[in-house]
Structure 1
Amino acid sequence: MSDSEYRTGREGAFTYRGHDLEELQEMSLEEVAELLPARQRRTITRGLGPEYQKLLEEARDADPEETANDPIRTHLRDMPILPEFVDLTFAVYSGQEFERVEVQPEMIGHYLGEFQLTRTSVEHGQAGIGATRSSKFVPLK
C-alpha cells in the first residue's frame, strides 16, 4: 500500500483514503467496500459466504478487552480486514497452529492471512554421511 492510501497526519490521527477511523467504523459494509483495493472490494461485493458472515458477526459482538485474553479463532485467512476489526485480536490458523494477530488501523484493506506466515525459514546444517553422492568427499571433523 502506498502512502497516499493511508496516512498518519501531523497531529497523529489515522486516516484511510481521506476518512478517519471513526468515520470508517460508522460506514456500512458497502461504503467501506468502495474504499478498499479491487480484490477486497470484489470479495465483498460478490457477497461474503456464511463462514465469513459468522466471523463478521463475532467481530461485531466482540469486546476488544475480551479478545485480548480469548482471541477470535478462525481459519479464514482470506477475510479482508475491515474497520470493525480494529483493536480486536484474532487467532489465525497457519496450517499447524493458531497464531495471534492484533488488528491495527494500518491493516485495513489487507487480508488476515498476510499477518500470519505459513512458512518458516530453514537453516541447513552440514550434510550427513550418505546424504548425497557428493557428500562422500566432505571431510569429517
Structure 2
Amino acid sequence: MIIEVILLFYLFNLMKELHAGEDAAAELKKKRSFKKYTYRGIDLEHLLDLNLADLAQIMHARARRRLNRGLKRKQNSFLKRLRKAKKEAPELEKPACVKTHLRNMIIIPEMIGNIVGVYNGKVFNQIEIRVIFF
C-alpha cells in the first residue's frame, strides 16, 4: 500500500514536470520570431524604402558603379514588369513568372518575392528571388 502511494506520488510529479516542460517549449516557440534579414546592417524594411542612389552607396563597388551609371531601358522595363506582376498577384500568393534574357541584372530589394524566368540559351529557368540572394 505504501509503495503504491509512493509510486503514484512519483508518477504524479513526473507528469507535472512533463507538462511544465511542454508549456515552457510552447512559450519559447511563441517568443521565437522569424529571422530578421539585414544587408550590411540595414533591415529589409529600410532597404525597400531606399531609392537607387542611396542603395548604390551601400552596395559593393561593381554594383555601385553600375547603378551610378544608371539602368538601361531593358532593365527598367524588366523592373516595371516585375512590379506589375507583383501588383496583379492575389494576396498571399506568388506572382506570375516574368521571363527575361537579362542574366546580369543586379538584384535590388524591390525584386524580392518575384519569380523570374531566366533564359539560358535554351529554356527559361524559373527562379524565386529571396532575401538570401540580395
Q: TM-score normalised to the size of structure 2? A: 0.67
Q: 2:104 aligns with which of 65, 73, 78?
A: 78
SS, match of residue 38 in structure 2: strand
The C-alpha deviation readout for 1:59-106, integer Å capped at 9, x for no partner, is: 223317468463011000111000000011000011110000100111
SS, match of residue 63 in structure 1: helix
Unaligned runs of 5+ residues in structure 1 are 1-9, 109-141
CA shift, 1:48, in A, is 1.0
Runs of 4+ in structure 1 off by over 4 angstroms are 64-67
Measured in 1, the distance between the counterparts of 2:44 and 2:77 equals: 23
Q: 1:14 aligns with which of 16, 37, 49?
A: 37
Residue in 2 aligned with 1:117?
A: none
Q: 1:36 to 1:95 in 2, by over 3 A?
A: same
| 2:60 is aligned with 1:34 | no
The structure with the greater share of residues assigned to helix is 2
Measured in 1, the distance between the counterparts of 2:95 and 2:49 equals: 26
CA shift, 1:11, in A, is 6.3
The C-alpha deviation readout for 1:1-53, integer Å capped at 9, x for no partner, is: xxxxxxxxx96200111111110001101111111111111111111111011
RMSD of aligned Cα (Å)? 2.1
| 2:124 is aligned with 1:98 | yes
Q: TM-score normalised to the size of structure 1? A: 0.64
| 2:70 is aligned with 1:47 | yes
Residue in 1 aligned with 2:20?
A: none
Residue in 2 aligned with 1:132?
A: none
SS, match of residue 62 in structure 1: helix
- Percent identical across equivalent pairs? 33
Unaligned runs of 5+ residues in structure 2 are 1-32
Q: Which has the larger radius of gyration?
A: 2
Q: How many residues align?
A: 99
SS, match of residue 72 in structure 1: strand
